[in-house]
Amino acid sequence: MQQGESHSDPDGRPCVLLVEDESSIAEPFASALGRGGFRALIASTAAGALELMQTEEPDVILLDLTLPDGDGLDLCRELRSFSTIPIIMLTARGTVTDRVLGLELGADDYVVKPFASGEVISRIRAVLRRTREAVPAPASGPTSQALGELRLDTGARRVWLAGEELKLTRKEFDLLARLAAEPGRVVSRETLMSDVWDENWFGSTKTLDVHVAGLRRKLGDSPDTPRFLETVRGVGFRMAVPGPSEP
């Protein structure tokens, strides 16, 4: 499934797959989703979610982490191996470790229980909006860009470092592409959150730090002596411009 595709029903309602084993949560929330203009599917197990994915193509997945037949983090990892459908984690597990793991595995948002259905529905709409309006390549320029050993193809959404392709999550790619669009120029945290996430983002900007840290690991970058991603304290981040001796 390609990013930006919509799999809403014939009435035009986006489809939400709710992976939640507690019926006291799943059924009322499914009703709230229906009132909010969505078509809701419910899977109470990881196996059930994977089975539904064989016949349904939801627009977004709401994923509990504690499931009777496995860990939602493992299910997120498996889903990301074949799908780019946005994932929002809904869970009582709100530790920093769980949040970081969830985001690094490819989740687009993380909501800790208990939650208000109206807030989650707003987050769903924001995720769908930014998925369908992903950071594009400049209309008048080429889709391929080289920055030293780093090469991006924004059209194909692929990145290579020293000839080896990197496996980035969707948000990592969008963040890298946004910074690479203006190498040498500082992009504020607020601008990055607005452009890569959404101007109506509800969460903490710590999400940005998690994705920058993930990018640096994959780029082999050090925050102290960065080759690519430079931190401008109190302002934001900058894509370093390769020196004259670099390719």
- pLDDT recorded at residue 61: 95
Question: CB neighbours of 235 closer than 8 A, spacing ≥ 6?
Answer: 186, 188, 189
> How many degrees, rounded to 5, is the angle at CA 124 between CA 89 and CA 92?
25
- pLDDT recorded at residue 245: 46
Residues recorded for the chain: 247
All CATH 3.40.50.2300 domain ranges in the chain, comma separated = 15-132
Helix (H) or strand (E) holding 229: strand 229-232
> How many degrees, rounded to 5, is the angle at CA 65 between CA 128 and CA 79?
55
- pLDDT recorded at residue 67: 92
Answer positive or negative: Cα dihedral of 111, 114, 115, 117: positive
In this structure, CATH architecture of domain 144-239: Orthogonal Bundle (1.10)
* Tens of pLDDT, residue by residue, the chain (247 residues): 333 344 445 466 899 999 999 999 999 999 999 999 999 999 999 999 999 988 888 999 999 988 999 888 889 888 887 788 899 988 887 777 777 778 888 888 888 888 888 889 988 998 888 776 554 444 444 577 888 889 998 878 889 999 899 988 778 888 999 999 889 999 998 888 878 875 545 555 677 888 888 899 899 988 788 889 999 988 999 998 876 544 4
Residue type, 173: F
> How many degrees, rounded to 5, is the angle at CA 77 between CA 70 and CA 198?
120
Q: Please provide the CATH number assigned to the domain covering 15-132.
A: 3.40.50.2300
Q: What is the DSSP letter of 143?
A: S
The separation between CA 62 and the C-alpha centre of its own chain, rounded to angstroms, equals: 13
- pLDDT recorded at residue 238: 93
Closest to 67 measured CA to CA, from 48, 52, 40: 48
What gap in Å lies between CA 182 and CA 195, rounded to an integer? 13
Strand partners, 158: 153
Closest to 145 measured CA to CA, from 166, 128, 165, 159: 159
- pLDDT recorded at residue 203: 53
CA separation, residue 39 to residues 31, 32, 56, 224 (Å): 9, 10, 12, 48
Which position has the token pair 């208000």? Answer: 116
- pLDDT recorded at residue 205: 63
All CATH 1.10.10.10 domain ranges in the chain, comma separated = 144-239
Closest to 231 measured CA to CA, from 239, 220, 242, 243: 239
Cβ proximity of 33 and 16 under 8 Å: yes
Q: pLDDT, tens digit, for every residue of 113-164?
A: 888 888 899 889 988 887 765 544 444 445 778 888 899 988 788 899 998 9
